[in-house]
Structure 1
Amino acid sequence: MSETSLIERQLASGVLTLRMNRPEKKNALNRAMYGALAEALEGANADEAVRAVLLLGGEGHFSSGNDIADFAGFDAKAGLAEVLRFLHALVDLEKPLVAGVDGLAVGIGTTVLFHCDLAYATPRSSFRTPFLDLGLVPEAGSSLLAPGLMGHQRAFALLVLGEALSAEEALATGLLVGVGDEAEALARDAVVRLAAKPPEALRIARRLMRGDGAAVRARIEDEAAAFAERLVSAEARAAFAAFFDRRAR
């Protein structure tokens, strides 16, 4: 495992731990990171030694969302290939997925949690999806999954209005299963317990509870088409320019 790797991987006790490792960018995801995450999840499905997957970020920043500089260069849906590969890998994953969050969870840092079977966070964590502020639209199937989890109005406030959720609010909506100062330890304890269960029974139980992923896959594709279109819109270009201007000051 390279110290310079954007995604650190470790397999122990049947748990594949994936840690986003781009601290200088608060774990903003670029295309290379999406590709690495997709490869890891696809590999987890094929590896009988992997019983469950744990997704972690860094101290104070789970993920600050998409790397705007990376996305500003996209000019076609082909530019979203790595993103789509990762999102489909999330839907196709047959092993339990558990997350431990500390601090910022922005954009995909929040929407990835809709695909987790269990997610824990520290009290200082916050969850925000500023898609509309960037002239974009929700992604990762969140436009389907969020209303089903928290109802239309709460989901609309999160995904469209751009209101942030505190850790306690995220717990109340069902986005999280637990909040604690040692969220990573809570997540690790849960995922180790899952990995120790009979694997075939675990796989079947998870499939029964999650149901057919066809609707989620279809929504991801619909969102991606709209997202790609929005990336080259005048609204998005103006929002990106304003973002870079603020950062340069």
Structure 2
Amino acid sequence: MNTTHYINQGINDGILTLEFNRVSKKNAITQSMYQTLTDALESAKQNVDIKVVIFQGNGGCFTAGNDLHDFLSQKEDSTHPPVKNNINKNSPVYQFLLSLRDFNKPLLASVSGVAVGIGTTLLLHCDLVFADRTAIFSMPFTQLGVCAEAGSSLLLPQQIGYHKAAEWLLLGEPHTAEEALNDGLINAIVEDVNSHTCDMAMKLARLPTDGVMATRKLLKEYQMNNDQNSLHASIENEIIEFTRLLELDDVKKRVNAFLNR
């Protein structure tokens, strides 16, 4: 695999694997990593030889979510002024979320260890998600005083039902692989998750491309209630609220306490 900004990239038999590889930080994602992921997805979208994309993490961990140190330092940098009532549409996070929304080929995820924040909300954009028994899924946004992101306020209720989604998002508590399977967040729990996910990707890659892409498009249109803009609006509304909440003194204290623990 080639590595750029802690993202391993490898192409084999029509499958692009994107692997979080910042093991010392539990694969926490920086802005430069988001940019690398976006570039990879945009390239894969145009590359007819790539049929399927897999997300996975190195070192027995999917991802600990956003690197808050990195995001706060970017926010305080005078060359990256804070956004309050408007959205910085050039931000790597925003561009990555749009790339996920607009991607036209199957997305698979292989989850081991922790999947925190975007590590879980990213899965809502994937078509097939597999985990091993070490996987722990967590969206602790409210515990930090912020809100849902990555379109999860729309996608999670659609995927697992409103009341379960409210339990996951409002309480922000961690969930085991068994709970994620029972609630419908993942497809299966397997022993060798990377190998199993690769096998599923191979099955998809060997199928007629046009049929797979057309079926996926129809599934996504149904998922969005035939209105792709609804997901776009959810992503933007979440960013606006998330940014507003980050300016609150109580949230700053909670975030700093989290960073210093």
- What is the TM-score when the length of structure 1 is the normalising length? 0.94
Q: Point out the more displaced range, 109-118 or 150-159.
A: 150-159
> Separation in 2 of the partners of 1:227 and 1:92?
22
Instruction: Provide the secondary structure at the position in 2 that maps to 1:10.
Output: strand
CA displacement 1:103-158 (0-9 Å, x = unmatched): 10000000000011000000111100111121211001000111111122211121
Paired residue for 1:139, among 143, 149, 163? Answer: 149
Paired residue for 1:234, among 249, 253, 257? Answer: 249
Paired residue for 2:235, among 220, 229, 236? Answer: 220
Partner residue of 1:30?
30
- What is the TM-score when the length of structure 2 is the normalising length? 0.90
Paired residue for 1:121, among 117, 121, 131? Answer: 131
Q: Point out the more displaced range, 72-81 or 142-151.
A: 72-81
Say yes or no: does 1:111 pair with 2:121: yes
Partner residue of 1:130?
140
Say yes or no: does 1:70 pair with 2:85: no
Instruction: Provide the secondary structure at the position in 1 that maps to 2:88.
Output: helix
Say yes or no: does 1:166 pair with 2:176: yes
CA displacement 1:202-245 (0-9 Å, x = unmatched): 11010011114321111101111111222222122111221133
> Separation in 2 of the partners of 1:240 and 1:59?
26
CA displacement 1:75-106 (0-9 Å, x = unmatched): 32439710010011001000000010001000
Give the paired residue count: 246
8 Å CA contact 2:4–2:36 kept in 1: the answer is no
> Separation in 1 of the partners of 2:45 and 2:11?
14
Instruction: Provide the secondary structure at the position in 1 that maps to 2:66.
Output: coil
Instruction: Provide the secondary structure at the position in 2 that maps to 1:194.
Output: helix
Say yes or no: does 1:14 pair with 2:14: yes
The one-letter amino acid of 1:8's match is N
The aligned runs of 1:188-227 (5 Å cut-off) are 188-211=198-221, 212=226, 213-227=228-242
CA displacement 1:47-77 (0-9 Å, x = unmatched): 1111110111123210001111122232324
8 Å CA contact 1:29–1:65 kept in 2: the answer is yes
Unpaired segments of 5 or more residues in structure 2? 76-81
Partner residue of 1:50?
50
Query: RMSD of the TM alignment (CA)?
Result: 1.5
Highest relative contact order (Cα 8 Å, sep 6+), 1 or 2?
1
The one-letter amino acid of 1:188's match is C
Unpaired segments of 5 or more residues in structure 1? none
> Separation in 1 of the partners of 2:259 and 2:125?
31
> Separation in 1 of the partners of 2:3 and 2:231?
35
Q: After TM superposition, give the deviation of residue 182 of structure 1 in Å.
A: 0.6
